[in-house]
Chain A
Amino acid sequence: MRRFVLCFVVGGCVTLGLAGVGGAADTAPEALARLDQLIDANDVQERAVAYERIRHGVKGEAATARFAARLPALPPDRQIELLRALADRGDAAALQEIEKLAEGGDPAVRSAALHAIGGLGSGDSVGLLAKALAAADPEKAAARRALVILRGDDATRQVVAALATAPPAVRAHLLDIVADRRARAAVPEFVGFVVDADAGVRAAAMRALAKLGGPEQVPGMVKGVLTAAAGQERTDAERALVTVCTQNPGHEQATESFLTIFKAANDSDREVLLSPLGRIGGPGAMAVVDGLLADTDPAKHEFGLVALTRWPDATVAPKLLDMVAKAPDATTRDRLLGALIRIAPLPDNKLNDKQKLELLEKTMQLCEQDADRSKVIERANAIRTVETFRFVLPYLDEPTLAEPACKSVVELAHHQQLRDAHKDDFTKALDKVIATTKNPELVERANRYKEGKTWARK
């Protein structure tokens, strides 16, 4: 931006900012000449003086273009320094020269140039940046970051448009970038990628939908879950669907949509969808599970049982307690008991600490084997209260349960506030742990806690 002062005959003066008019020499020519000298200096501190002024001073596009014109002739390390200064300067007048370096020969210079384009570029830069996504790091990382921070709706449109023609590896990155750009309007354009032939693309599409999706995307995401390969991809896809149904805007409608699909699904699809059903939870899902549990068809009953044992919170605790008492066989009983032990101390299970401990105590009463009792005692340490400590304490004296009790006492003692508030009780208990446990790590931890020290988990 150049300044021209027009002085009128009447004596009034008006200052106009005119972009791109005239040459760079009109803009602080002495400063530019001095900066040229400093850019060429061998001393890094002198160059830093120049870069500071390039970042924050000598205003105007002509000056920017003049600085950028220095880039091609500089050695790579100086190119990187000047690229960083020009990026911070934030003037797109440098873009043309920077884009040339982004396709040049030196990888470090290319990375710095790609990084700079992120702050200076527009939709027109997407093609170049998307191409760089196929490169190795750090270029790929620089291009990815640049594509996320590129300004303007046109940049978002160009990123989404690039999805159609990009090779699978690049497409997966572009999907993550679309999500990071919060391009919610683009969701209908990429939801189809959840059933892409490439697993990386499918996974990226589900990740993107987890961030941007709503009720309208649930049918597509269910297809994504069903298409995902069993294992990590399936687990991640389920997690994405559960996020949309439990956390994203419109999650109540998303859950309704999912339940409708679940009810209409065939048995094999239902089997796959049982896991997300249980994780989504809520009254609607519970009604579906109740229906399945009541079904005389053993296969459907089994579906209901699986869903119940995978429930995400303690709202099913009364039902589980009731069913344990009425379990038709030991296997079913073990599964239901395992579910109770799992959900009772969950941090977000909708119970307060007192209720959590009460549920664990009830579960303990139902246990018939030491293996189950051991699990209850170990899970108890997730409820960090003195009442839990007192619940666990007597089991230090039971030979078959002493080891898990030792572990829980030590875990509870790990929390300094709890330990210090009941110091004498904990000291006695830790002494008993030291005398009882065969686990050297527990002995070491108990000794440290007694001395008021911390312990870093390995």
Chain B
Amino acid sequence: MPFDASTLDAPFAALKTYDWGVDAAAFKPIDEAIAATQGDAAAKAEIERRLIALLGPDTSRACKESVCRKLALIGTAAAVPALAPLLADGDNSHMARFALERIPAPEAGAALRSALGTVGGNLRIGMLSSLAARRDAAAVPLITGLLSAGGTTAVAAATALGAIQTPDAIAALAKADPLAGDAVARAIVDARLACAEGLLRHGKRTEARAIYDQLATAAAGKPAARAIELAATRGIVACLDTTAS
């Protein structure tokens, strides 16, 4: 049966005026339509268009949250211009990232990278988290620059590079001192170990071994770095184990 967009008029009207505490069942047909139009690009585009229209200033935070959840499922590059301005809005930034993280279009990554350079504080940490979740290789230079920002931003930057795991990300992490003893250094060690484990999982033993060897050498004989040495030893043995799949 072809998709009849008019059946969603009432649910979209309900969603437009939705606020927390109100029964959300009235716009449940939108979710059902999203599921039912799987494979119907035109229908999905129509639903997306109507969802995007609800991201303006005249709808509540609750409405935008619900819209972002749905765009996370069916959003495309078309939704990015409406979502991007929300990234700088403290109330809606989180849910906008929720959608952009999951929209596969490169425009979504570009919006997050752009916001990374303009927002601050927790919002910036959120951008780092989302770029890490997308494993956005293009963001590595920007993120690398934040390793020197100190505090939680630098910790989040290190964690993001550990998730992205590209050669550039690995190289950027290798430049930092893993034994500085502060939270950033600990995050950098964690990130490097995450990179090494990722490489090992993909059969890149030599590259993984290089990271483990660097960490083991740096930590050798230093009681405060015992945990790092043990983790590196564990990794080295794993690299040597050619029987592992």
Contact string against B for A residues 286-307, beta-carbon threshold 8 Å, 1 for contact and 0 otherwise: 0000000000000000000000
Contact string against B for A residues 35-72, beta-carbon threshold 8 Å, 1 for contact and 0 otherwise: 10010000001100110110001111001000000000
Which A residues are closer than 8 A to B by beta carbons? 3, 27-28, 30-31, 34-35, 38, 45-46, 49-50, 52-53, 57-60, 63
Contact of B243 among A38, A45, A49, A57 (CB under 8 A): A57
Contact B243 A59 (CB under 8 A): yes
Given contacts A45-B230, A49-B230, contact A58 B243 (CB under 8 A): yes
Q: Helix, strand, loop or mixed for chain A's interface?
A: helix
- Give the residue name and chain of the B residue nearest to A56 (CB): B244
Complex CA–CA separation, A42 to B30 (angstroms): 64
Contact B230 A50 (CB under 8 A): no
Contact string against A for B residues 216-245, beta-carbon threshold 8 Å, 1 for contact and 0 otherwise: 000000000010001001101110111110
Minimum Cβ distance to chain B for residue A321 (Å): 56
Complex CA–CA separation, A53 to B226 (angstroms): 19
Q: Which of B67-109 contact A (CB under 8 A)?
A: none
Contact A27 B237 (CB under 8 A): no
Minimum Cβ distance to chain B for residue A43 (Å): 9
Contact B243 A27 (CB under 8 A): yes
Given contacts A3-B243, A59-B243, A60-B243, contact A31 B233 (CB under 8 A): no
Contact A31 B241 (CB under 8 A): yes
- Give the residue name and chain of the A residue nearest to B243 (CB): A59
Across the A-B interface, the 6 shortest Cβ-Cβ residue pairs: A31-B240, A59-B243, A31-B241, A30-B240, A28-B242, A57-B241
Q: Helix, strand, loop or mixed for chain B's interface?
A: helix
Complex CA–CA separation, A112 to B242 (angstroms): 30
Q: Write out the residue numbers on chain A whose beta carbons fall within 8 Å of the beta carbon of B243.
A: 3, 27-28, 31, 57-60, 63
Given contacts A27-B243, A59-B244, A63-B243, contact A53 B238 (CB under 8 A): yes
Contact of A38 among B226, B237, B241 (CB under 8 A): B237
Contact B234 A49 (CB under 8 A): yes
Contact B230 A31 (CB under 8 A): no
Complex CA–CA separation, A57 to B234 (angstroms): 11
Complex CA–CA separation, A34 to B230 (angstroms): 13
Contact of B233 among A46, A57, A60 (CB under 8 A): A46
Could you list 5 examples of A-B contacts with CB < 8 Å?
Answer: A38-B233, A45-B226, A49-B237, A53-B238, A59-B243
Complex CA–CA separation, A50 to B240 (angstroms): 12
- Give the residue name and chain of the A residue nearest to B244 (CB): A57
Q: Write out the residue numbers on chain B whose beta carbons fall within 8 Å of the beta carbon of A45.
A: 226, 230
Contact B233 A53 (CB under 8 A): no
Minimum Cβ distance to chain A for residue B128 (Å): 32
Complex CA–CA separation, A57 to B239 (angstroms): 11
Q: Write out the residue numbers on chain B whose beta carbons fall within 8 Å of the beta carbon of A3.
A: 243
Contact string against A for B residues 106-124, beta-carbon threshold 8 Å, 1 for contact and 0 otherwise: 0000000000000000000
Minimum Cβ distance to chain B for residue A3 (Å): 7
Contact of A52 among B234, B236, B244 (CB under 8 A): B234
Contact B242 A31 (CB under 8 A): yes
Complex CA–CA separation, A31 to B240 (angstroms): 5
* Besides the known contacts A49-B234, A53-B234, A59-B244, 6 further A-B residue pairs in the complex with CB atoms under 8 A apart: A28-B242, A38-B237, A45-B230, A53-B238, A58-B243, A59-B243
- Give the residue name and chain of the B residue nearest to A31 (CB): B240
Contact of A28 among B226, B230, B233, B240 (CB under 8 A): B240
Contact B230 A53 (CB under 8 A): no
